[in-house]
Every structure is written in structure tokens, then in C-alpha cells.
Structure 1
Amino acid sequence: MPEKLKITIAVTALNNTDNPGPGIPVIRGIKESNLIDARIIGLAYENLEPGIYLKDLVDTTYMIPYPSVGKEAYMERILEINEIDPIDMIIPNLDAELFTFIKLKHILEANNIKTFLPTEKQLDERNKGNLEAFGKKYNIKVPKGLSITSYNDIHHLKDDFEYPILVKGKFYDAYVAYNEEQVTNAFNKLSAKWGLPIIIQEFVKGTEVNVVALGDGLGNTIAAVPMRKQYITDKGKAWGGVTLNDETLLSITQNLIKDTQWRGGMELEMIRTTDNEYYLIEINPRVPAWVYLAVGAGQNIPEALVRLTMGEHVEPMTEYEVGKIFIRYSWDLIGDMSDLEKISIHGKF
């Protein structure tokens, strides 16, 4: 057996609740690797994120501010943690974090902290508001879309769209709206939570199929596993899913990674219609919360991501088990108030 890569990795998105972040599934994949001996530093935004208290997975956790505090203040805290507890690499797992990490990559590198992320151009062109143009550029079918910023825009939607339509936040969340009143309600919720613009998208009937993938930045697909959601929560999150044998979806993914030279993890969310047409409805520029299904199916994407980040050569993974399922469940963590006090008062646990 080759000697394991000994490394300290900081991971965000420890919120493993009914709206789970990818952090814990990413950590599970890393911890199960036969090639990596990782010490995990959790980076938490709230003191009740379950990952903080999963001590078999997360060795130490530090509180960090939300990216909305501004790039400088956010990065100042990351570097402060690095001074106390040196970090070899960071895996950010939330869309709202990525711009800051990409923009300040040079500061991280100057402090010997590695990342493996898309470029600023790649992040921007797959933005929800730019998705139609993205589809035309890369020859992928995309539902008609529109960015809106005011109530006046809502009134005119009937000129361009037929109901129902999808109403999406600029980072997360989506609602199906059947009339103007429902669009207004969704607009209010999403703008209050994520800000403007709000994305309106044509509703395409069919089966939602997703794929988690990893690109090496040179056009090669290192991993790709397609999945169909079996159970969806009221937040639209997959609570169960099954891996698929879908050569068309894999081909779309591989061509997209080749054409964009995508660097890092991604999730493609697509609708497969009854006449077998595929429509891209969203690209998440990082691995999704269901990435552990890919690990269980034979492609340890978190492991491969770590190895790419550290400059190792990683051979593409092409095989995976079809018919592998995942089912999420809730689990009560028992701890002491002293644990909560440590993270709340001292910002570390």
C-alpha cells in the first residue's frame, strides 16, 4: 500500500439538516479514502450546524462570518484560523461562497492554502440569469428564462410565458407558480432571502435527472454519476435517489466539461421529457449534497477532488454501479450545553 497523503482540509457547509449542505457527504468520502489521511477542520456559519458535533468526522470547528460581510472581512477570518491551525486546502461547498474564494485565490495561495475551483468566467457564465446564453453557446437545450427585479415585471410575464412557471432565487430555492399572485409570493420570499434578481424559467414537463461530475480544468471528466430523485422534500431537495444508466446524460456532461474546460465539482440538473429531449435547468458550480451516492456507487469524487487540488494525477473514473440508492434520515445528536457554549463564545469547538 502506498503511503497515505497526510493533509489538513477545511470544509464548509456543515448544515446537514432538511436543507443539507454538501460538507458532511464530502467529508465522509474523504474519510473513507484509502489514499488520504485527512484531519478535517469544519468552517461553520451557525452554532447549531450538526457537522460541528460529529466528532468522528470533524476534528475541529471554527465559526466564520457569512460572505455578505464582504470579501476582506471574510478572508481575514479564514487567515486568522490558518494562523492558529494551518490549513493545506479548503473545499467550499456553497454557491454564495465561491465568488469570494475565487476572487481571493491569490491570497489563499500566498498563505499556502490550495483550492480547486472554477474560474470567475466559468462561474459567471453558468449563472442562472445567463443560462439561456450558456445553452446557446454550448449547444444544450435550456428552458426560456428571464431575470426580474420588480413587481412591475411580474405583471408582464404573461406576455412571454405560459403558466405554470418556475420562480428561482439567484442562489437557491425555487417555486412552481400557477398565477401572478403565486409569482408575487415567491418573489417576496426569494428576494428577502437571497436578494435580486429573481429568475423566471419556463416550466418543462418531464423527469428530473441530475449528474454529479468532476472536471480537471483541462477538459477531462474525472468522474460523473447520474441520478434520479426518488423522494423530494418540500424544499425541493432529494431525500432519496437512484443511480441511472443514462449514456445521453453522461455524454452531455462530458461534452460540457470538455467545451468549458470546467475545473472542480459540478451538478447538472436536467429535465428529460417523454420524447427523450434533455433540458438543462441549472448548473451548480460545486458538488451537491447527494455526492455520497457517487461514493457508494464506486466513484469517490471527494477523494479525487482532494488529489487534484494537491497536484496529483487522477485517472478518469468511468465505471459505477447502476441501481444504487440513497435514503436520507434524521438522527438525534446528544451533547452538552458546554459544547454549544464553546462554539458560541469562543468560536471554536
Structure 2
Amino acid sequence: MLKNFADKPLVIGVTALNAIDSPGPGVAVIRALRDGFGDNIRVIGLSYESLEPGVYLHDLVDKTYQIPYPSAGAHALVDRLQYIHGIEHLDVIIPNFDAELYNFIKVSAQLRIMGIHTFLPTHEQLDARDKMNLSKFGEKYKLHVPEAITIYKADELRKAADELDYPLVVKGKYYEAFVCQTLEQAHKAFYQLSAKWGTPIIVQKFMKGTEINIAALGDGEGDCISIIPMRKLYITDKGKAWAGITIEDADLLDLARQFTKATNWRGGFELEIMRDADGKLFIMEVNPRFPAWIYLTAGAGQNQPEALVKLAMGEKVEAFSEYQVGKMFIRYAWDHITDVSEFQQLSAFGEL
């Protein structure tokens, strides 16, 4: 059960504070938590780089510690979290990057022994929705998924293009995608994505239609606690939603419930959907964590980050039944002024 806030505020660690043009979910998650819990929480930022903007938003983040990159491995992560926990007495950690989830899931039992709660999918659930396995997943559970081919070498692009035809979508292992009209463009995308995220690279059949995203929260037992569908109103050149609106659509809600039941998903997730001209819904990607627009769920009446914290702490959370249709988000950028001494302190000592 949730602790008595009169005794001590809940201490929550949050990653992905990179509120840039391709933002991480961390700042949006924290805003939702602040709305849900008010002053009864202490937010600990967990950053990878010194220039993550969320680090310096002191009205949202009480203190920040750097943590090792996922490539450093699970042991390095536990060692660092033990140090942080010794000072902050963390209650919950919410990881928000795809690439870090494997390590956090691996060490979740150790964290629980330390008194740190998480609410994460299993490695099996994580693998099942992976971009490389999504086609097989769709076949198994009778979900519509675009045809895709996984490749490891640029030489394989020509064969993939022959099978899928142009235009095609070249996707990175974790993030980013490029729509390519020619083999030359596909090669450029392959080298750019493999240099940044490694291999394999996913080559997917291009789908034309209306882009829709669904943010949802699974209870780990096959049921959805919350489902919020959003239609993109403005998309950046990186394919990120810069504005969106909640919509009412029973088919989208049913699709999210179908996915949750099939996977017994535990935690937050996002379905990236394309509705074609015939109205058929294709799952383009399944992101295994909250999306960057997650604050819209709080604005629409279903605060998913707040509900996740309650689930992590063992509280029974009833499924939401309603949300406000027509709620919009419009993302914006502003210049936050801070002092170089803060940047130097985080860079030198790993905490601020």
C-alpha cells in the first residue's frame, strides 16, 4: 500500500529528462506526477548526460544524479542506484527509455529487496513486441502489422526493397525511422541508424493513412487500467507528434485491450497505429514505456504515471472508465536560463 504521506513524501526516480526536439518522456511523466500527488512527492532525476534540460527544471526535479549508460551493464546500474538510494531512500523508479529497460528489468528483484519498487514488463513481454518480432507477434494474435524484414548488412537492402517495394521505411533498433524512396536513400538511412543504434535494422512496408497513438497502462494480469487514444495534429520532420488531440473510437480501445490481454502487459506502453483508407488498424510499433506526450493522459482525466506509481506500491487501482475527448496538447520550446556552475557540478560530481 502507499505510504502515509504525513510521515514522508514518496520519493520517485525518473529517467529520460531530455526535453529536446525529440523529447524523452521524463519531464511529462514528472508533470503528471506533480499533478497527481502535489507536494507529497520528491522527484529524483536520473540522467545520462549533463545537458538533459529536465535536470535544470528545479520546480519539477528536486535533485538529479547521473547514472551509467545501459551499455555499462546491470551491475554498474545497481551499484549507482545503491549509492543514490542510500541518500534519497527511493520508493519507486520509472524508467522511460527503451534501451535502459532490459537492465532495469534484470535488476528489479534486487531493487525490490532494497525497498525500491518498479512496475515493468518481463523480458519475455519486452521481446515479444520488439520491432524484430512484431510481424510474428501480429500473426500469432491476429493483429494487423505491416510486413517487415530484419537486416544486418546494407547489402541486404536491395532484396528487402524488391520484396516490399518503394517507398519503404527504414527503422533503427530502438528509435528513429526514415521513409525512403530510393535504394540510395535506404543506404544512407541504414548507415545513419546503425551508427547510432547498432544493428539489426528493420525495413518495413510503407503504410499510408491516419497516424494515431494510444497510451495505455496494463496491470500485468491481462487488463488495461487506462487507455487514451490520440490523433496527431502536427508531426515534426523526425516523425514526433508536436500537437495532438484525444479522440473517441471504440475500435482503438478494443485494440489496446486485445494487445494487453495477449501479452499480460505490466506497465505503461504506447501503440503507434496507422488507419488505412479502409479503416483497418495496423500496429506500426509498440513502445514498451510511456510516450513523450503522456501528460495528455493527466489532462484528459486518466493520470497514467500516477496510477503506475500506485500499482508499483501495491495499491489496488480500479480501471478508468471515462476520459475527456477533444483535449489537445501543443508542445513548445523555451529557453531556460541557468548558471554554468550547475552544469559543472553535475559533470564533475555526477549529482546536482
TM-score (norm 1): 0.97
SS of aligned partner of 1:200: strand
Query: Retained in 1: the 8 A contact 2:149–2:160?
Result: no
1:37-87 CA deviation, whole Å, 9 max, x = no partner? 210000011111111111111000001121011221222212221122221
Counterpart-to-counterpart distance in 2, 1:187 and 1:120: 27
- Tell me, which stretches of 5 or more residues in structure 2 are unaligned? none
The residue correspondences of 1:15-94 to structure 2 (distance < 5 A) are: 15-34=18-37, 37-94=40-97
User: 1:205: how far off?
Assistant: 0.9
Counterpart-to-counterpart distance in 2, 1:104 and 1:344: 26
User: 1:34: how far off?
Assistant: 4.7
Q: How many residues align?
A: 348
Aligned residue identity for 1:112: G
> 2:183 aligned to 180, 184, 191, which one?
180
User: 1:259: how far off?
Assistant: 2.1
> 1:196 aligned to 194, 199, 213, which one?
199
Query: Retained in 2: the 8 A contact 1:217–1:262?
Result: yes
Query: Retained in 1: the 8 A contact 2:168–2:181?
Result: yes
User: 1:337: how far off?
Assistant: 1.4
User: 1:340: how far off?
Assistant: 1.2
1:313 is matched with 316
2:98 is matched with 95
User: 1:158: how far off?
Assistant: 3.1
The residue correspondences of 1:4-19 to structure 2 (distance < 5 A) are: 4=5, 6-19=9-22
2:286 is matched with 283
1:260-317 CA deviation, whole Å, 9 max, x = no partner? 1110000000100111001111000011000011111111111100000000000101
User: 1:4: how far off?
Assistant: 4.4
The residue correspondences of 1:252-263 to structure 2 (distance < 5 A) are: 252-263=255-266
Structure 2 residue 131 is the aligned partner of structure 1 residue 112: no
Give me the identity figure in percent.
52
1:2-45 CA deviation, whole Å, 9 max, x = no partner? 96483100000000111111011111111111588210000011
Aligned residue identity for 1:114: H
Counterpart-to-counterpart distance in 2, 1:214 and 1:308: 10
The residue correspondences of 1:117-196 to structure 2 (distance < 5 A) are: 117-196=120-199
1:334 is matched with 337
Query: Retained in 1: the 8 A contact 2:161–2:168?
Result: no
Structure 2 residue 352 is the aligned partner of structure 1 residue 345: no
Cα separation, partners in 2 of 1:122 and 1:203, compared to 1, 3 Å? same
- Tell me, which stretches of 5 or more residues in structure 1 are unaligned? none
Query: Retained in 2: the 8 A contact 1:168–1:200?
Result: yes
SS of aligned partner of 1:8: strand
SS of aligned partner of 1:228: strand
What do you get for the CA RMSD once the two structures are aligned?
A: 1.4
